[in-house]
A and B are shown apart, each in its own frame.
Chain A
Amino acid sequence: MERQLFFSGNEAIAHGAVRAGAGFACGYPGTPSTEIIEATAGLRGIHSEWCVNEKVALETAVGASLAGVRTLVTMKHVGLNVAADPFMTLSLTGVNAGLVVISADDPGMHSSQNEQDNRNYARFAKIPMLEPSDSQEAYDFVAEAFALSEEFDTPVMLRTTTRISHGRGQVLPRVPVEVLPRDYARDISKYVMVPQYARQRNRLVLERLEKLRRRAEESPLNVLEAGSSDFGIIASGIAYSYAREAFPKAWFLKLGMSHPLPYAKVTRLYEHVSRVAVVEELDPFFEEQVRALGLPVVGKAAIPADGELDQETIFRALEPYVLRKPPRRRRPVLPPAPRLADPPKPAPGLPVRPPVLCPGCSHRSVFASLRKQKLAPMGDIGCYTLGALPPLLAMDSCLCMGASVGMMAGFNKALGKKAAVGVIGDSTFFHSGITALIDAFYNEVEGMLVILDNRTTAMTGHQGHPGTGLHPDRAQGPTVDIQKLCEGIGVRCVTVDANDHKALDAAVKAEAKAPGLGVIVALAPCVLMTRQVAGEVCVDEERCNLCGLCVDIGCPAIAPGEESIEILDSCTGCGLCVEVCKRKALTLEPKGGGA
C-alpha cells in the first residue's frame, strides 16, 4: 500500500500538479498561497518561478499553456485583482494545454487588507471553479481542474481559503496522469481578441458555461450525501467540513465543482428534506443562486457574512432553524439557458471594411522584418494589433494591455528557446510592459521584445504618455527614455529607425540569434502626426508581373491594376513595397529628387 503523506493544502496542490503532468508553475507570493510555488520548486518535472506580480504571472502562465505545457499559476485573493485584466479575457481565448489558476482567499483577514470572496471572479469570468474541502481533495482536484481546462478549453479556478491552504491532512498519492503533448498551433481568431474575433469567442463562452453546468450536474465532485434528519445543507470547501461536524445527521449537497451551480442537484436535495441551509464563508454566493430558483433557504440571515466560520458558530446559528416548523414546500423554477443576441448579419455581397494600418505606418515594416524570423509574435493592444488581420497575419496573440511580454516569456520558457517574440507599443509598454520586462530579465528568459515606438498613444487619437511627456492640454512635461529604462533594468537594447527597413531587418536578425533577452526599439513617429511624404513610388510596368508580394504587406495605397500594380494617392513613399519587390519593378523617387 502507498504511504500516506501528511500535507498542507498548498503542498497537496503542488504534488497534485506534478501528478497531473503540469510542467510549469509560477505566481507571486501572498498569504495563504505562497507555499505552493515553494513546494513545486522542490519537485522534479516542473519548472517554478516567482513573477514580478500576479498579472505578469498569469500572462506567463498563458504563454506556457499556449506552448503546450500544463501550467499552474498561484496568487492570493487580492492578487487576482492585479491579474484581472488577463484573467477576464483568458476566459474568451481559452487555453492550449490546461491552465489552472489558484486563488487562495483569506476569510478573517489573517494576513490581508480585505476579505473579498473570489468565488465571484469565477462567475464574473464565466469559468469553472473547484473548491477542495481538505488536503486530499486539494491534491485530487488539481488533476480534475487540468482535465476540465483542456476538455472545455477554459482556464479553471481552484479556490482555497486559509484553512485549506494551511490546514494539514493525510494525502494518498495517486497514479500519475498520462498527459499527451499538445503542439502549439497558431489560431489568430482564437487568441487575438480584436473586437470581431472577441465577439465570436464571447458567444462560445456563454455556450460553454451551459455545457459546464451540465457537467456540474453529472460531476462526482458534486455529491448529494444522504442523512437521517429532515435538514439539508449546501456547502463547499472548508465550510463543508465545519458543517459536516456540526450536523452529522443532516443531508448534504457538497459542491466540489461549485461554479457553475448544478441547479438540478440543488432541487434534488429539496426532494429529501423540507429545511435547507447554505453554509458558506463571506458572500451569499450559493444562497442568492438558490433563492433565484424560488427555493426557501436559510443563509446569511443566520450565518455570519464576515470572518471565518467554525463548527460551533454554524451549530448555534442553525440549531433554531432545525427545530422550527419547515417552510412551505415550493416548486423550484429552473432558469432557462440565456438567449444569445442575434449574430450581426453582414450585407450579402458587400465587401467588409475592417480598420487597417495606415499607408506608411512604420509598424508594417516591423512586421515585415519579424516575418522573416519565423517566430510566434505575441502581440499587444494598439494600432499594431491590426497587423493580426489579413493579409499581414502578423500577430499570434492579443490578450490584454501589456500581455505580450509575459506571454513571450512563458512561451519561450516552456519550450526552452526563442520561439516567440513580444511586440508592444510605446504607450502600452509604459502601461504594463515594464514590469513584465523586469520579470523576463529576472527569470532569465531567452527572448526578444520589439517596442514599436511611434511617439504617441495612436489608436485612441494621439494622447501623450511618459515617453513623450505630453499632457492632455499638450503642455510638455518630463520624458522617460525607453532605451535607458531598458538598460537600467539590465536588458540589452538598441534603437533603430523603423523606416530604415534594412537596419531594422539587420537588428531583428541579430537579436533573434543572440543569446538571452534583448529589446529593439523600432522608432518612427506616427505618420498621422508627421503627415510626411518621403517620396514617390514609381512602377515599371514592364517589370511588374503582378506577383502580389507588395500587396501582401497590406498597404491601402497599393492596388493591383490590369497590367501592373498601381500606387494610389494615399502613398507616403515609405518604400516598404520597393523593398519587398523581387523584380525591381518599384522604385522610390525621393521627394524633390531628380529636379
Chain B
Amino acid sequence: MSATTTVSLVGVGGQGILLGAAVLAETASLAGLEVKASEVKGMAQRGGSVLSTVRFGEHVWSPVSPHADVVIATELLEGIRGLGLLGPRGTMVCAATTRITPGSVLRREEDYPDDLTGAAALRGVRLIALDAEGLAREAGTLRAVNVALLGAASAVLPFSEEDWRRGLEAAVPAKILDVNLRAFELGRAAVATQEVES
C-alpha cells in the first residue's frame, strides 16, 4: 500500500453507504491520520449505484482516487462491479448474500452475475465474502449490513478495536449505536473465523 490508503464503499442507494463511510472517516481521524472523503449524492440516492471514497494517511491530497486498496460492497453485483477499482493486492469485502436486482434484470434484458469468487481470483484480489445480512439480522437489524462489513474490513485496516469503537460512537446516532456495535463485532469475528479456517 502506498502512503495513502483508499477505501471505497459501493452499494445501492439507501443501503447506508454514506454512514459506513462516515464511521471509517471518524475512525481514521480519531486514530490521528489525515482523512479526506468524497461521495456522490443526488440522482444516486434513488436506487442507483452509489460510490463513496475515504482516503487516509500521514498526508492526503486528493479526496478521490480511481483505484482503491480496499473495496467494501454492500451488494453482490456492486461488489463484482467494484472489483474494477482494485489492483492485484487489493481486498474486496463483500456482502455476498445481498442481491438487489436492477430493473434491466427484472425485465430480463440482462443477467445478474453470480461468480464473485471467480472474478476476484481473475484479478488476483483477496476476497472476504460474508453473509453480512445474516450477521446484521443476528445483531438486531438488517440495516446494519454496512457496519457488519466494516467489522470484516477491520481485519485489513490499520486501526485498533478501540479506534473503531470511538469511530462508531462518533458517527452512529446514539439510538442505534448498540446494534451497530454488535454488528461490527460479528463482522470482525466472522473474518477471524475465516482466517482460522483457511
Chain A interface residues toward B at CB < 8 A: 194-195, 347, 349-358, 383, 386, 390-391, 459-461, 548, 551, 554, 556, 558-560
Contact = CB atoms under 8 A, between A and B. Distances in A.
A355 B46 contact: yes
Contacts of B13: 355
A554 B109 CA distance: 13
A351 B46 contact: no
A194 B48 CA distance: 13
What 7 A-B pairs have minimum CB-CB distances, sorted nearest first? A355-B48, A355-B46, A351-B110, A353-B102, A353-B49, A559-B106, A356-B47
Contact of A355 (B44, B101, B110, B112): B44
A551 B106 contact: yes
Nearest to A552: B107
B104 A355 contact: no
Contact of A556 (B45, B80, B103, B112): B103
Contacts of B80: 347, 350
Nearest to B104: A351
A195 B46 CA distance: 14
Contacts of A461: 41, 45
Contacts of B104: 351-352, 390
Contacts of B158: none
A386 B108 contact: no
A460 B43 CA distance: 8
A430 B81 CA distance: 40
Nearest to B103: A356
B118 interface: no
Contacts of A390: 103-104
A356 B111 contact: no
Contacts of A352: 49, 102, 104
Contacts of B101: 556, 559
B10 to A, nearest CB: 10
Given A390-B103, A559-B106, 13 more contacts: A194-B43, A347-B80, A347-B84, A350-B113, A352-B104, A355-B13, A355-B47, A356-B46, A391-B107, A459-B46, A551-B106, A556-B106, A560-B108
A351 B107 contact: no
A560 B46 contact: no
B151 to A, nearest CB: 25
B40 to A, nearest CB: 10
B78 interface: yes
Which of A351, A353, A459, A559: most chain B CB closer than 10 A? A353
A554 B105 CA distance: 12
B81 A556 contact: no
B135 interface: no
Given A352-B104, A356-B103, A391-B103, A347 B47 contact: no
Contacts of B7: none
A194 B44 CA distance: 12
27 contacts: A349-B113, A350-B80, A350-B81, A351-B77, A351-B105, A351-B111, A351-B113, A352-B49, A353-B47, A353-B48, A353-B77, A353-B78, A353-B102, A354-B48, A354-B102, A354-B103, A355-B47, A383-B46, A459-B42, A459-B43, A459-B45, A461-B41, A548-B107, A556-B47, A556-B101, A559-B101, A560-B106
B48 A356 contact: yes
Which of B43, B80, B81, B101: most chain A CB closer than 10 A? B43
Interface in B74-113: 77-78, 80-81, 84, 101-108, 110-113
B139 interface: no
Contact of A351 (B12, B44, B45, B102): B102
Interface in B37-85: 41-49, 77-78, 80-81, 84
A367 to B, nearest CB: 15
Contacts of A386: 43, 46
A194 B103 CA distance: 18
B43 A554 contact: no
A284 B108 CA distance: 58
Interface string B152-189: 00000000000000000000000000000000000000
Which of B46, B78, B80: most chain A CB closer than 10 A? B46
A25 to B, nearest CB: 36
Contacts of B41: 461
A101 to B, nearest CB: 29
A229 to B, nearest CB: 55
B111 A460 contact: no
A560 B103 CA distance: 11
Contacts of B110: 351
A458 to B, nearest CB: 9
Contacts of A350: 77, 80-81, 113
A560 B101 CA distance: 12
A349 B111 CA distance: 8
Interface in B105-155: 105-108, 110-113
Nearest to B75: A353
A411 to B, nearest CB: 26
Nearest to B84: A347
B102 A195 contact: no
Contacts of B42: 459-460
B112 A351 contact: yes
A460 B41 CA distance: 8
Given A391-B107, A560-B107, A353 B46 contact: no
A353 B12 contact: yes
A559 B101 CA distance: 9
A459 B77 CA distance: 24
Nearest to A357: B46
Interface in B6-50: 12-13, 41-49
A556 B78 CA distance: 17
Contact of B43 (A355, A551, A558): A355
Which of A195, A351, A352, A558: most chain B CB closer than 10 A? A351
Contacts of A349: 113
A430 to B, nearest CB: 19
A349 B105 CA distance: 12
A478 to B, nearest CB: 29
A392 to B, nearest CB: 10
Contacts of A558: 106
A505 B104 CA distance: 28
